[in-house]
Amino acid sequence: MRALAVLLFLSQPVLAAEGAAKPATLKSSLLEQLRTTHDQQDWFVPVKPAIDGVTAAQAVWKPQGGDHSIGQLANHLLFWNSQNLAKFKGVAAPKFDGNNDETFNAFDQAKWDQVRKDLDRVLTELEKLVESADEKTLQKWAPTLGRIATHNAYHTGQILVLRKMQGAWDPAKGVK
């Protein structure tokens, strides 16, 4: 009995610390997913640091037999994040003929800096929209927002592989 009393006494600080943690909400979970695939490093490198420092020449490079360049992948992410942002805002989205290849192939090396800036802006706008949305709206958007974060993480991984192949990635930034 005495051992049980000591155990309960010693476990109080641990239990109190656990209880102090704020429970996750749908909004906080969605924001975490969006932010950790945008600009807040957590388990993996998000897209903003993944494309930071990439030159226009590096953005168009493809390995022998490779499918897409860094620029094409970033352009694809910009297109789909912009489409979903417009949908959530209830405004007309950029025209799309259904050919997903064009979301990659429309990349223009001369617009690399603009693609990077626009992708950052669109991802920031998505986060702000989620921050200001009510619970009912978030419940409606949640499946799409989850897919957006997964899609962004997937293509960011491809970008990092391309950077490593180019010898243009600093492993101190998160991926060894």
Q: Mean pLDDT by 10-residue block, N- to C-terminus, for the chain (176 residues)?
A: 40 48 94 98 95 98 93 98 97 92 96 98 98 98 98 98 96 80
Q: Is residue 176 part of a domain?
A: no
* Residue 44, domain extent: 24-168
Examine residue 139 and state whether it is found in any structural domain, yes or no. Answer: yes
* Count of all residues that appear for the chain in the document: 176
Residue 7 in any domain: the answer is no
Confidence at residue 175, expressed as pLDDT on a 0 to 100 scale: 64
What is the tally of structural domains in the chain? 1
Alpha-carbon gap, residue 39 to 2, rounded angstroms? 51
pLDDT at 11: 42
Task: Write down the residue that tokens 């009995």 correspond to.
Answer: 1
pTM of the complete model beyond 0.85: yes
Tell me whether residue 19 is in a domain: no
28 in any annotated domain: yes
- CA–CA separation, 49 vs 42, rounded Å? 12
The whole-number pLDDT of residue 7 equals: 37
Other beta carbons within 10 Å of 78: 24
18 belongs to a structural domain: no
CATH number of 82's domain: 1.20.120.450
**Whole-number pLDDT of residue 176:** 61
**Looking at residue 9, what is its pLDDT?**
40
Whether 126 is in a domain gets the answer yes
